[in-house]
Structure 1
Amino acid sequence: MRRLIAVLLGWCAALVAHAQSPDLLRQVLDELSTHAAVRADFTQTRENPALAQPQTSTGKLLFVLGRGMLWQIEAPYRETLALAGERTARVGDDGRPQAARGDRGVAQVSQMLQGMLSGKPDEALRQFDVRAEGSRAQWTLHFTPRQARMARVLRRIELRGGEYLEGIAVELESGESTRIQFADTREAGPLSPLEKRALGMPP
């Protein structure tokens, strides 16, 4: 489940029509896609019926439109993951990505999240029924799996935010749940050479 969440951050009008509250969904995605690159601090909390206490990790997120995401976990251990499309890689101290094993479900959720942050919901709407509620200033998007195979594992995903994405909640049919809270979200500014290398960008 930790990897599923780590792996988690061009309109098609016909696909948007499958979503409830399509006008609000369009407004939300339009707002998110105006940010070419953002940084945020995150706190991730995982609950599992088999665990006596929730597990918490903290770190930093970098999202670059059209390139992908870097999840830099700082506690209780240190690890950096680069997510670009279906590719998931661990990033070494030199910024070079090293292939990491994943599964199709992880890739699908990763692509969905990257597409939503890029203002392109087509992948999400192929995989999920989407319900939008609230307003452009404070919104919540609810995702329910459309495919039976995914629904046997994943119960729902919820994204909430305003100008930026503020939180993600994932619930599995096993009873596990993970919540990610973002704080101090801001425009990314210049990327370091290591960040560019990790995301496959020119120096």
Structure 2
Amino acid sequence: MIITILALFSCAVQGVTLDQLQQRFSLQPVVRADFTQSRAIAGMAKPLVSSGQLLIARDKGLWWHQARPFALTLLLDDKRMVQVMNNQPPQIVTAESNPQLFQFNHLLRALFQADRQVLEQNFTTDFSDLGKQGWRLVLTPKTSPLDKLFHTITLSGRDYLEGIELNDRQGDLTTITLSNQRLTPRTLTDDEQQRFVF
């Protein structure tokens, strides 16, 4: 689900501020990482766990590929959101076909880039320097549709974004753990370019 697609920022943090994070994120043209996502759903004994890889390219968008427990690929760029499940035909959402969802997608991309202006328009922000290069950013939505979906969104990390927590209004908690972040090569390979072609 698109709500779970909050990807990663990369940064080198020393006594960092939100402005410094935004500046550092903007200097990373391509970021690759592995993810594990755990969703604890109210009333279910065990959380739902999935894993895969993601790719963020500043000039292309976000590619999110879940490999387990089943194949699911999501692509988010300036013009569309594409979902492909188990090699079925892609489902494509554009601003014309679903304006509200597309507006939400643009907000998510602002999160990826730690765009302070957009964040402060849509969230109450609580940024903490935790010392030893650690940091945490708690976002409390103040605009629709986010305020109807989430209590808080919490981002945390050190040299990179390492954790995302989505505390939603249904009582569910989604935790995304990011690892094996890679910043090189600084341009997309030919194979990676093809991931954005639909």
Quickly name the TM-score band, shorter chain normalised: 0.7 to 0.9
User: 1:130 maps to what in 2?
Assistant: 125
Is 2:107 aligned against 1:112? yes
Q: Which runs of 5+ in 2 are unaligned?
A: 8-15
TM-superposed CA distance for 1:35, in Å, is 1.3
Contact 1:105 1:150 in 2 (8 A): no
- Distance in 2 (CA, whole Å) between partners of 1:93 and 1:174 is 28
Q: Deviations over 1:53-105 (max 9, x none)?
A: 100000001011132111110100012111114621025899x9651589767
- SS of the aligned residue for 1:152 comes to helix
Scaled by the length of structure 1, what TM-score is found?
0.77
Q: Which amino acid aligns with 1:179?
A: T
Scaled by the length of structure 2, what TM-score is found?
0.78
- Distance in 2 (CA, whole Å) between partners of 1:86 and 1:8 is 18
Q: Which amino acid aligns with 1:64?
A: A
User: 1:3 maps to what in 2?
Assistant: 2
- Distance in 2 (CA, whole Å) between partners of 1:86 and 1:176 is 30
Contact 2:70 2:86 in 1 (8 A): no
Contact 2:63 2:76 in 1 (8 A): yes
Instruction: After the TM superposition, list the runs of 4 or more consecutive aligned residues in structure 1 that deviate by more than 4 angstroms.
Output: 91-94, 100-109
Contact 1:63 1:70 in 2 (8 A): yes
Q: Which amino acid aligns with 2:83?
A: R
Is 2:184 aligned against 1:191? no
Which range moves more in the overlay, 142-151 or 109-118?
Answer: 109-118
Relative to structure 1, is the Cα distance of residues 39 and 150 closer, same or farther in structure 2, using a 3 angstrom cutoff? closer
TM-superposed CA distance for 1:192, in Å, is 3.9
User: 1:33 maps to what in 2?
Assistant: 26
Q: Which amino acid aligns with 2:18?
A: L
- Distance in 2 (CA, whole Å) between partners of 1:78 and 1:147 is 33
Q: Which runs of 5+ in 1 are unaligned?
A: 10-22
TM-superposed CA distance for 1:27, in Å, is 1.1
Relative to structure 1, is the Cα distance of residues 198 and 119 closer, same or farther in structure 2, using a 3 angstrom cutoff? same
Contact 2:104 2:145 in 1 (8 A): no
User: 1:20 maps to what in 2?
Assistant: none
User: 2:52 maps to what in 1?
Assistant: 59
Q: Which amino acid aligns with 2:54?
A: L
Is 2:125 aligned against 1:139? no
Aligned match of 1:168 in 149, 164, 180?
164
Q: Deviations over 1:99-136 (max 9, x none)?
A: 15897675455433422433533322221111110158
- Distance in 2 (CA, whole Å) between partners of 1:150 and 1:157 is 10
User: 2:155 maps to what in 1?
Assistant: 159
Aligned length: 185
- Distance in 1 (CA, whole Å) between partners of 2:3 and 2:70 is 17
- Distance in 2 (CA, whole Å) between partners of 1:93 and 1:145 is 33
Contact 2:122 2:142 in 1 (8 A): yes
Q: Which amino acid aligns with 1:47?
A: A
User: 1:78 maps to what in 2?
Assistant: 71
